[in-house]
Structure 1
Amino acid sequence: MTVSESAERDAPAPTPAAAPEPDGRRPVRWVARTLLAAAGGFVMFLAFPGWDLSTLAVLGPAALSLATRGVRFRLGLWLGLVHGLAFFTPLLSWTGIYVGSFPWLALSVTEALYVALLGGALALTARMRAWPLWAAALWVADEALRGRWPFGGFPWGRLAFSQAEGPFTALAAWGGAPLVSFAVALTGTSLAAAVLALSRAWRDSSEPERRAGSLRAAALAVVAALAVPVVGTLAALPLAGGSLTEGGPTRTVAVVQGNVPRAGLDFNEQRRAVLDNHVSRTQELAAQVAAGEVAQPDLVVWPENSSDIDPYLNADAAAAIDRAARAIDAPILVGAVVSGPGRFISNTAIVWDPVTGPGQTYTKRHPVPMAEYVPYRSFFRFFSDKVDLVRADFAAGDRVGTLDMAGTTVGDVICFEVAYDGLVQDVVAGGASMLVIQTNNATFGFSDESPQQLAMSRLRAVEFGRSVVVASTSGISAVIAPDGSVVRSSDLFVPATFVEDIAQRDQTTVAARVGAWPEWVLTALGVGAVLAVVVPAVRRRGAGSTRGTSRVEEGRTTKGRA
């Protein structure tokens, strides 16, 4: 007998919603389930950067599976909502640092609504055979939906992003972030199955045969829960190690974190000071090169918003960048805000050559809604006038961020784009031999946003077998090896520069080759499980309604004959 069959055999029958339990325990159990769901959400939050207790991530799926076991769909929705609020409210607290609590809470509630759907789906599928498998697939399906809709989605807080290091991390190279999320969820749901089996064994203490069966089921569930991280650990063996210089010809890369005068929403009012900071730090680096203290870089990376003055229109800004490029004698990847097209502005990376000036560009393809553009502005202004802090909407770019620099192909993504699988996948497929993430974290202060984003960059390094360079205006800037280890990093709100030799790799991981297929397959498994429950139920209801109507019509006919 399998774990799921044993669970199905001994699971209690659902209590009708309109019929409270005679002993009055139903309200108590409702409260207990709610508390369990909330505890699971908060414990899952502790797995993410800021607390970095990554092992606790498995307890989130475990707790929600236990809370939704044997309940109706509507109660599952409630429990999922509670779980989501307990998770997202603290996780996304950095979104309200300078704009107040309303945008933060609105985003947290919106994200929690997706988890509410997950809770309902878990309640529907809890009695199926192999339910831990379907439950884990539903976690992936829920993250896939949340990361795509609406306005392109917001995939922050995926289970995978809590696993920058640990036994699940290497699975990213085989199936991307979705496979890591699935592994974390499957471990958690298997633990939940073990708890249920042990609970049955306790109840069956007076029936030796049933108790022995429950104990066997519990043992199998524990083995399943342990097997997943073991597989993840073994999956790391054939992957790239922590060396920056192995795997291809090297380029010497410099990262410049110029810093900002102060944190906050008035970052854009300091734009000349920010540009000057990056120019000064680059000139200081050039002096170190001339003194033989550091190696001559082949290319230099500046962060997003390092020049919020359009260098195409402002000759002074262009001259300042020229001075920096000539001083360091290497092309600089400049993060700039550029006017156009039309009434829009663009978040653009510019390859600035010391001889020829501005060259290739990449424009951010996924501007952040409510932060870089405001859809339906008049509607959202009804809720908060903070939308007008976005004075001009950013346009979305239409080309992949592969840029030629110093004889190599750099794959550039900007800020939150690192959270989107497809945007990073595209640059690797386009031939990128190293990844660059340009970001500006100044508007989030000394919060967990920067460490959370760094964790995503570390997972991407493993996923695609590439070294990753993170350049931030105010931190955390970093150089990450292909195994996800951080080789160099800066602190928040301090100037920093560092130079590293980085191998330009052309090997491709399995995840890079298969793309989004693991996510689609796992999503199909989860959705299929829900349909396997819902479709027969709808048919039974329809058949019952038809039989009821037939009996009524038959009664009318008999009465008429009488």
Structure 2
Amino acid sequence: MAQRTVPDSERAPGVTGARAPWPARAGRAARPAAAVAGGVLLYLAFPPTGLWFLTPIGVALLMLAVAGLPARRAALLGLLGGAAFLLPGLAWVRPIGTDAWLVLVAVECLFFGAMSAGLARVWRLPGRPLWAAALWVAQEWIRGLVPVGGFPWMRAAFSQGHSPFTPYAALGGAPLVSFAVALCGALLATAAVAAARAARRREPLRRAARPAAALAAGALAVPLLALAVPVPGSAGARTVRIGIVQGDVPGTGMGFLGDQPAVVLGNHARVTHELARAVRAGRLPAPQLVVWPENASDIDPYRSAEAHRVIDDAAADIGVPVLVGAVVRVGGDHRATRGVVWDPARGPGAYYDKQKLVPFGEYVPFRELFARFDPRVELVGPDSLPGTRPGALRVGPVTVGAVGCYEVAFDGVVRDTVRAGGTPLVVQTNNATYAFTGLPDQQLAMSQLRAVEHGRAVVTAATTGVSAYVDPTGQVRWRTAEKVADSTVVEVPVRTGQTLATRLGALPEWTLVLAAALALAAASRPRRPAAPAGDSVDSVPPAESEGEDR
């Protein structure tokens, strides 16, 4: 039988005896273009654009960009794709400073570079879509841990606030949603490689289409299978009426408090009085509790008699307990971001101190070091101290699950709050620095995913928006605009059952991370020498014939 050697023009750069997944005529710009396009599509999949269906396509392009490359080159393309994704995706950091934005993006891109180096290696293994998707989850897991406590923003799952992939959250939380999305993308990438290989071999159309079609069908099956996942709704559940207050602030950006922090407290008290009048006039139903946002009072109501009086008057007027977001002094030189249950008769009672604090926002790591280079460190003020217990607070007739704004991105904080008995979940947030930047919508998508993950209604109260009510299916039932004062009363279900995701906890994530580690170990084992140039291309193992890193 006649045998054909592999021409040099068909070999992947840096790969011997194997065909590249990209045709030679595509040129050297093909892979960088794919990496950039993949990053841009990922950005567009996230709110505020919210084209969720672009996430698997973006993942596929990033994987195709690095398939079959040496690890170092794959890492460089991963950095490029990560930058195309995160530069616009994290542009909401710019009000703090362009330098802060660029440094954050640079740090986060390192994880994409490391993941891409790993992707290039596991691409040679049988079952590559599974290992590639597990590696994506591992990258998100590490990003959520380091540095300075992690930054789990822009996870693939958070682009799926309400999509066909979202029901997977009820089985394995955000990690399983990210896995499903990445698996869909990896299957699409593998289908593209199979189609390109068949085209280069000039196989008959029917034979050539078979493997690619099977892989594409697998990619389509991933979101369709999620339709079989039972997601708890609101039917039959006990309900509670919750008042939501959004008072707005006088300024924007870093100076959102203006020159008089008392204005912010006054705004929320005023809107609460307006809510009370609307209830008395019959325009709104009477709430059983009211939620104010984080930083509704930047004046410590324990120390300020005037702040105490203002909150007392508002709670007495509405006649039900108010969950007040306040910044309070603790000890001599520290503070806490606190949610305080304020009873209309007894005043302040139980409270929750935020556990996951914003680096360089609520505290400054290595303060003395950074203070030498950047005077903005002093704008943070005294460092906040993290709380030590979940935010399960009895407020009126229910035990709400209090969660701070930054904390909604952290799986463990939300899960522990639900396990402690919190239902519904209440997210108190202050997005005033980031108004109109896209961050409030990104945060709302996280609340949508958490609602499905734990089968809980989620109520968000924000200083400047977006305040919202999300039902247990992830559907947004009410929301505000940004930079307006607003309020309403919503009737939400009180569900006490636990989803499988709540019960399993971090087990699905650990399983996927372990799978990624084992795949990397297997891909790093020594391989047999490459076939001589005169050997048949058909003698090259299937994984090698698609251009793997040797």
* 1:292 counterpart residue number: 282
CA distance in 2, matches of 1:214, 1:381: 62
Say if 2:400 is the partner of 1:406.
no
CA distance in 2, matches of 1:26, 1:116: 24
- CA deviations on 1:303-349 (whole Å, 9 max, x unpaired) are 00000000000010001000001000000000000001331111000
* 1:177 counterpart residue number: 174
- CA deviations on 1:184-207 (whole Å, 9 max, x unpaired) are 0000010001111111111111x5
Q: Normalising to structure 2: TM-score of the pair?
A: 0.90
CA distance in 2, matches of 1:291, 1:63: 57
CA distance in 1, matches of 2:458, 2:223: 25
* 1:68 counterpart residue number: 66
Query: Structure 1 stretch 28-37 or stretch 441-450: which is displaced more?
Result: 28-37
Say if 2:79 is the partner of 1:81.
yes
Residue pairs, 1:102-501, within 5 angstroms: 102-205=99-202, 207-208=203-204, 214-235=208-229, 238-241=230-233, 243=234, 246-268=235-257, 269-381=259-371, 384-501=374-491
- CA deviations on 1:484-520 (whole Å, 9 max, x unpaired) are 1111110001111110122211011111111111111
> What is the Cα deviation at residue 384 of structure 1?
3.7
> What is the Cα deviation at residue 378 of structure 1?
3.3
Q: Secondary structure at the match of 1:54?
A: coil
Distance 1:311 1:434, change over 3 A: same
Letter in 2 for 1:150: P
> How many residues get paired?
515
Contact 1:65 1:122 in 2 (8 A): yes
Structure 1 residue ranges without an equivalent (≥5): 1-11, 541-562
* 1:37 counterpart residue number: 35
RMSD: 2.0
* 2:535 counterpart residue number: none
> What is the Cα deviation at residue 391 of structure 1?
2.0
- CA deviations on 1:394-417 (whole Å, 9 max, x unpaired) are 111111110001131100110110
Percentage of identical aligned residues: 46
Query: Structure 1 stretch 211-220 or stretch 351-360: which is displaced more?
Result: 211-220
Distance 1:26 1:395, change over 3 A: farther
Contact 1:247 1:504 in 2 (8 A): no
Residue pairs, 1:529-548, within 5 angstroms: 529-536=519-526
Q: Secondary structure at the match of 2:130?
A: helix
CA distance in 2, matches of 1:270, 1:463: 40
Q: Which has the larger helix fraction?
A: 1
Contact 1:14 1:72 in 2 (8 A): no
Residue pairs, 1:6-45, within 5 angstroms: 15-16=13-14, 29-45=27-43
Contact 2:249 2:267 in 1 (8 A): yes
Q: Secondary structure at the match of 2:244?
A: strand
* 2:55 counterpart residue number: 57
> What is the Cα deviation at residue 68 of structure 1?
0.9
Letter in 2 for 1:153: G
CA distance in 1, matches of 2:265, 2:191: 57
Distance 1:217 1:383, change over 3 A: farther
Letter in 2 for 1:261: P
- CA deviations on 1:14-33 (whole Å, 9 max, x unpaired) are 544899x9xxx989754321
Q: Secondary structure at the match of 1:300?
A: strand
CA distance in 2, matches of 1:77, 1:175: 29
Q: Secondary structure at the match of 1:387?
A: helix
Higher relative contact order (CA 8 A, sep 6+): 2
Contact 2:231 2:473 in 1 (8 A): yes
Q: Secondary structure at the match of 1:289?
A: helix
Query: Structure 1 stretch 164-173 or stretch 289-298: which is displaced more?
Result: 289-298
Contact 1:341 1:395 in 2 (8 A): no
Q: Normalising to structure 1: TM-score of the pair?
A: 0.88
CA distance in 1, matches of 2:380, 2:496: 40
Distance 1:270 1:139, change over 3 A: farther
Q: Secondary structure at the match of 1:255?
A: strand
Letter in 2 for 1:513: R
